[in-house]
């Protein structure tokens, strides 16, 4: 490819990134706040070194952006948009280290077409910062080996620690980095220098807020995300594994998912074969090692876990970016069109999901329907509050309903979680001391979408209050199709969890 062609493809790539950023920014306003986002916004309202469910990078970011932009959709989601844009820039930089501008264009095009990747640039969960810092750390460790400069090792440690501060699964990046350095002919030399150990020290400092919080709270978060989940893994569940595979195929798209898997394993086989035969392959060593070492360990682990535990579709999200890039590069090098087919199918899926979410064309269920109905519920609950004592509190049977009501009700009141009725309250356990609520009235809301049927309502709360009265049911419709029915209860004189009768 000549210089002129390279410049043309470079301009196309830059414009593609810019247009993607603009489109994602517009879409920030088009979707209602998900229950998870409302919950994480509540994290930011209770600023802390750490949290029970997730580490603190995400809520700290939400705290910053809501203070700058206000408590609104853009204030909550702006950080996700920034992290998504930063992730695209790191994908661009990594791709340019290994391939030309034409391949880089198609790598970016494939990346922005993947359904799951796009949600991580719009909706704010722990995934946007995790992806950004994971890709950034990968880029910096490549630079550290190639340029041999201290600053890249410091940046590797900093971004690695912040990846851990985004989501605990970032620990797999460090496992992958060890494998990468161990197998890399130049990387092994660094084990005899202080540089990687300084990087680990920097990472620990960056991650230290979460360590301190856990130390102050009986290691609750670490236990919740490790031993508790491990204790739930009991018997072989083929249905779980098939569900895991199906979710990955849908979230990434079939061709790109299978292409990424093939790229991971083929790159690993190439490295093993060439090292076994002692073939000099320095020109391709780094790219092949990167393609499998930063993805295969986590893939193998969660694929095994998927046989006994429900693996959510987003848990493996950071490992797919670079193998998909490798798949695109291999397709172009071999003069195939697999990258075009994969990108096209993924883009069609993404566009279809977006249209279905924006326009009431077909019925939706599950997570796709989770953004609807909250304003209507808040209006109804607010009307009930007008008829009850001023110190009435609101709670739900899980974290989603109280989080959404806290955001949508006037003045954003502090709501309570299921710990009010003696159930695990997740982060609400740390926010609300139920003993301070004794003697007060409450409004209890059930949303059957989250595992609570209306028939459970009174049984759940009656022993914790002197009197419980069921209100009218609130049915939520979209284009004539029922999404859910909220069940609301007026509860009088809370007795506390230690005073059950």
Tokens of 73: 């959709």
Instruction: Return the DSSP state at 34.
Output: P
pLDDT digits (tens, 9 = 90+) for 297-330: 999 999 999 999 999 989 999 999 999 999 999 9
Domain count within the chain? 2
pLDDT digits (tens, 9 = 90+) for 451-492: 666 566 778 888 999 999 999 899 999 888 888 999 999 999
**pLDDT band of 500, cuts 50, 70, 90:** very low
Cα–Cα nearest to 460, from 474, 448, 472, 476: 448
Residues 231 and 95 in one domain: yes
pLDDT at 187: 86
Q: Which residues contact 332 (CB under 8 A, 6 or more apart)?
A: 102, 103, 106, 339
Whether 363 is in a domain gets the answer no
Instruction: Return the DSSP state at 361.
Output: S
Residues 148 and 286 in one domain: yes
pLDDT at 453: 60
Percent of the chain with pLDDT over 70: 96
Is residue 115 pLDDT above 50, yes or no?
A: yes
Percent of the chain with pLDDT over 90: 78
Range in 220-229, 335-344, 351-360, 429-438 the model is least confident about: 220-229
pLDDT at 278: 58
> Which of 358, 380, 407 delimits the end of a domain?
358
Residues 269 and 393 in one domain: no
Residues 285 and 389 in one domain: no
Residues 81 and 164 in one domain: yes
Residues 144 and 220 in one domain: yes
User: Average of pLDDT values for 388-410?
Assistant: 95
Higher model confidence: residue 229 or residue 338?
338
Name the phi and psi angles at 21, rounded to 5.
-60, -40
Cα–Cα nearest to 35, from 76, 96, 1: 76
Residues 259 and 207 in one domain: yes
Residues 69 and 156 in one domain: yes
Residues 165 and 313 in one domain: yes
Q: Are 100 and 239 in contact (CB under 8 A)?
A: no
Strand 481-494 to 442-446 pairing = antiparallel
pLDDT at 283: 54
Instruction: Return the DSSP state at 432.
Output: -
> Which of 358, 378, 394 delimits the end of a domain?
358
Q: Are 144 and 195 in contact (CB under 8 A)?
A: yes
Name the phi and psi angles at 467, rounded to 5.
-145, 140
Tokens of 352: 């279809």
pLDDT at 501: 42
Strand 393-396 to 474-478 pairing = unpaired
> Which of 358, 383, 416 delimits the end of a domain?
358
Higher model confidence: residue 214 or residue 229?
214
Residues 429 and 316 in one domain: no
The CA angle 95-255-8, to the nearest 5 degrees, is 35
Whether 450 is in a domain gets the answer yes
Radius of gyration of the chain measured on its C-alpha atoms: 25
Helix and strand element counts for the chain (H, E): 22, 5
User: Average of pLDDT values for 79-91?
Assistant: 98
Higher model confidence: residue 108 or residue 146?
108
pLDDT at 451: 66
Q: Are 308 and 240 in contact (CB under 8 A)?
A: yes
Q: Are 257 and 265 in contact (CB under 8 A)?
A: no
Q: Are 397 and 461 in contact (CB under 8 A)?
A: no
Find the domain containing 337 and state its range: 3-358
Residues 397 and 316 in one domain: no
User: Average of pLDDT values for 222-237?
Assistant: 80
Whether 345 is in a domain gets the answer yes
**pLDDT band of 279, cuts 50, 70, 90:** low
Whether 364 is in a domain gets the answer no
Mean pLDDT of the chain: 92
Helix H, strand E, coil C: the string for 298-332 is: HHHHHHHHCCCCCCCCCCCHHHCHHHHHHHHHHHH
Whether 482 is in a domain gets the answer yes
Residues 101 and 137 in one domain: yes
**pLDDT band of 276, cuts 50, 70, 90:** low
pLDDT at 225: 84
pLDDT digits (tens, 9 = 90+) for 11-54: 999 999 999 999 999 999 999 999 999 999 999 999 999 999 99
pLDDT digits (tens, 9 = 90+) for 187-199: 889 999 999 999 9
């Amino acid at each position: 490819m000549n210089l002129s062609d390279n410049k043309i493809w470079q301009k196309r790539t830059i414009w593609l990134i810019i247009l993607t950023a603009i489109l994602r920014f517009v879409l920030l306003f088009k979707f209602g706040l998900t229950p998870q986002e409302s919950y994480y916004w509540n994290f930011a309202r209770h600023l802390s070194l750490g949290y029970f469910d997730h580490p603190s990078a995400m809520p700290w970011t939400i705290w910053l952006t809501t203070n700058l932009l206000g408590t609104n959709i853009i204030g909550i989601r702006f950080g996700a948009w920034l992290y998504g844009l930063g992730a695209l820039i790191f994908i661009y930089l990594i791709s340019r280290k290994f391939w030309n501008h034409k391949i880089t264009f198609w790598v970016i095009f494939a990346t922005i077409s993947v359904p799951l990747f796009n949600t991580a640039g719009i909706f704010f969960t722990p995934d946007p910062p995790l992806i950004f810092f994971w890709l950034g750390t990968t880029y910096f460790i490549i630079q550290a080996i190639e340029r041999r400069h201290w600053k890249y090792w410091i940046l590797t440690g900093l971004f690695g620690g912040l990846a851990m501060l985004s989501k605990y699964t970032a620990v797999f990046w460090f496992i992958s980095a060890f494998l990468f350095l161990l197998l890399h002919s130049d990387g092994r030399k660094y084990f005899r220098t202080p540089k990687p150990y300084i990087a680990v020290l920097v990472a620990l400092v960056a991650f230290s807020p979460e360590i301190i919080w856990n130390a102050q709270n009986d290691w609750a978060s670490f236990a919740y995300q490790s031993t508790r989940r491990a204790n739930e893994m009991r018997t072989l569940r083929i249905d779980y594994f098939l569900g895991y595979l199906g979710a990955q195929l849908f979230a990434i798209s079939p061709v790109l998912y299978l292409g990424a898997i093939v790229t991971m394993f083929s790159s690993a086989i190439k490295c093993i074969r060439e090292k076994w035969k002692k073939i000099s392959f320095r020109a391709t060593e780094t790219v092949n090692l990167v393609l499998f070492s930063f993805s295969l360990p986590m893939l193998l682990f969660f694929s095994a876990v998927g046989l006994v535990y429900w693996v959510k579709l987003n848990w493996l999200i950071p490992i797919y970016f670079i193998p998909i890039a490798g798949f695109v590069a291999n397709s172009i090098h071999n003069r195939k069109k697999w990258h075009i087919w994969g990108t096209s199918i993924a883009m069609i899926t993404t566009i279809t999901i977006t249209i279905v979410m924006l326009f009431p064309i077909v019925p939706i269920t599950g997570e796709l329907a989770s953004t609807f109905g909250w304003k209507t519920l808040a209006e109804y609950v607010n009307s009930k509050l007008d008829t009850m004592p001023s110190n009435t509190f609101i709670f739900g049977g899980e974290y989603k309903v109280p989080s959404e009501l806290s955001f949508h009700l006037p003045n954003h009141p502090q709501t309570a979680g299921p710990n009010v009725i003696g159930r695990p309250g997740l982060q609400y356990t740390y926010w609300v001391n139920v003993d301070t609520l004794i003697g007060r009235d409450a409004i209890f809301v059930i949303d059957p979408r989250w595992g609570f049927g209306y028939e459970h309502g009174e049984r759940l709360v009656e022993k914790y209050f002197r009197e419980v009265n069921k209100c009218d049911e609130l049915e939520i419709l979209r284009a004539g199709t029922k999404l859910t029915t909220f069940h609301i209860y007026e509860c009088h004189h809370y007795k506390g969890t230690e005073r059950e009768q």
